Structure 1
Amino acid sequence: MTEVVLGVCGGIAAYKACELLRLFTESGHGVRVVPTASALQFVGAPTWAALSGRPVTTEVWDDVHEVPHVRIGRAAELVVVAPATADILAKAAHGIADDLLTNTLLTATCPVVYAPAMHTEMWENAATRANVATLRSRGAIVIEPAVGRLTGKDTGKGRLPDPAEIFSYAVRVLRAAAQDLAGRHVVVTAGGTREPLDPVRFLGNRSSGKQGYALARAALARGAKVTLIAANVALPDPAGADLIQVGTTEELRKATVDAAASADVVVMAAAPADFRPATVAEQKIKKTDDGLPAPIVLVTNPDIAAELGAAKRPGQVLVAFAAETHDALEHARAKLRKKRADLIVVNEVGVDRVFGQDRNTVTVLGADGSTDELEELSKDDVADRIFDHVVVRLDAQVGHVGHPDYTSAKPVFDN
């Protein structure tokens, strides 16, 4: 049983930590809740004790014979502070230890994850930004707050990320053997683009974005700075990612090309529409008297992955995806060459198959001739396996401009 410390600070979002606690305990983790005195103004100690099944205190003087200010931090395998206020970030950055939580933070040698929640002005204040930079420089993980409704009528950046997303992020941190993407910028695309026919209708696909979001979470947990470019996705924002929302393939292309300019890794998990209508009707297309619709002329959309492959910098790794309905490996190998990718992830898709599901079965093909056939796994586990391949190529600095030599390559991951 993994030992988790859940630090809770005095913000209105403290009540959301109850849901985070439930997610930890129901998945088999042992959780010690360490609230601040201010947090208990929002949610009382009996609630935390009942949900965790463990004693709750804010003072180093309680049960002093057990030396809790040292023991709790030493025993922890993960510390999550949610919500993390500007006050706790400042205290942690400057080594202040004036209650049980701040003492625990000083004694913990495990990964520490802060999930900030505060008003936008507080988050953007120069002092808070400096404190966050200090904590990150020391190896702490400070995830970016979400954008949305704050206290009262205010909205902006500073909202506590969805508890399920914080939990998912924390689990990935626990699983990550090392922060092997620390200092790397990873760009992930997700979802399916939509090409308008008229103000009401569009041409699109069934992609849910779940695999792309899993990839973003995996990269974050492994220490990367992540830019997530999402096309028409109805999922909670992955905690810590810089989210860019797009609609059409051209919007996806522009955002991805811009982000790729500073990226070490680009993962093209989105499903861009291959075609778009040649013209978009300004008004809703009506049925004709004879019931026969006018033909819709389609034109081909740009191949974003191929454009990125042609412009790939030395050391940059490009991962393409191939969702096929038949002859999947044959089509994927052709796409791997055409797009000049380092890796291509291929799976067979269809109605009620992969799209919108939580599990996936894929094969990862490498430009070096490697083949890794993955059994059915959760999409989170698939994401980690993909990044295992990415890290190998980053370490070897395989990414390069130009077409790989496929003729002499030999498989290294054959199953």
Structure 2
Amino acid sequence: MPSISVKGQHMPESPIRKLVPFAEKAYKAKKTVYHLNIGQPDIKSPVLAMDAVANHSLEILAYTRSEGSQEYREKIATYYQNNNIPVEANEIIVTTGGSEALLFAMGSIADAGDEIIIPEPFYANYNGFATASDVNIVPVISKIEDNFALPPISEFEKLITPKTKAILICNPGNPTGYLYSKEEIEKLAAIVKKHDLFLIADEVYREFTYDGLKHFSILETEGLEEHAIIIDSVSKRYSMCGARIGCLVSKNKQVIKTALKFAQARLSPPTFAQIASEAALSTPQSYFDEVIEEYQERRNTLVENLQAIPGLKVGVPKGAFYCIAELPVKNSDAFAQWLLEEFDVNGETIMVAPAGGFYSSPGVGLNQIRIAYVLNKESLIKAVEILRIALQEYKD
């Protein structure tokens, strides 16, 4: 029998999606499942984006340029400029989701065996992208006791080797909801300049910040032009996850030139999705104001109810729409599966994402889960009550 590649064997399962078969069994058993496991917003996509596709005048669904259409990239550049991020259209490559942008970034800056330092817990698919790119992730652990703040810069210094190519952050963070401050970004900027590294920032949740806090982009930092790479996406900003449109942004000409070769190899990003995404850039600020107010209320509801559960710790998110909860259980994978297979409260249960897959350090985060607060407040209250009862009944 032909053998599977070593790379394929090492490719990690998604901690977010691997429980789907058990959820399907729960559906067949007529259970109602509250999905706390995946960051699929329930907010409606902007009407003008949907209308742009519905009312298109195309006669041929043709390729676009490999870097994305000129018109769309010019409008993206204007969006950034309006957010105090000085970039031009030729410093942007449109990608098939933020996922492809991350793959292009890793492929452009790192060779097999090179290293990227990432504060963990981090977006689980970074593990998969690193495996696909033959890149080694070097984790620096942030702790729930510190609300997942940036670890001391001295901890990064200890990990830098001749193989280190970049530091990668997600800001605001998935899965923690942590929002890095301007001072923390400047500390990272100083260390990448000192050691001549790249600083990659996954900024797809830029709009989602709470408590009056503002997002500070790495490209707002002077002197970081040759070091900074932004990863972005329309998925969460406009509740358009299925569009699969993102972008890679850098003022480093060699990064853009190299990433473009990867873009040419896959031909072009999807045409209809670019049409929708270009239209979405005209979404009024009132849309975001309402969405952010709604998410902040959901966060407050979720955290308040979680904090009332004995033995549970929860990080308080300042951005995005996720939080990490530490449970009084030994293994959250087993607990999450049990919730779907064996447990319900009056025919209702919950689906969560075990947090071990958001770390690369073995054995870390095994008693944690990630919760996405993309449900309405009433559903969140029900879901947390189900979690409370489940923790009372569950036996490791």
The TM-score with structure 1 as length reference comes to 0.25
Structure showing greater relative contact order (alpha-carbon pairs closer than 8 Å, 6 or more residues apart):
2
Structure whose residues are more often strand by fraction = 1
The TM-score with structure 2 as length reference comes to 0.26
Structure whose residues are more often helix by fraction = 2
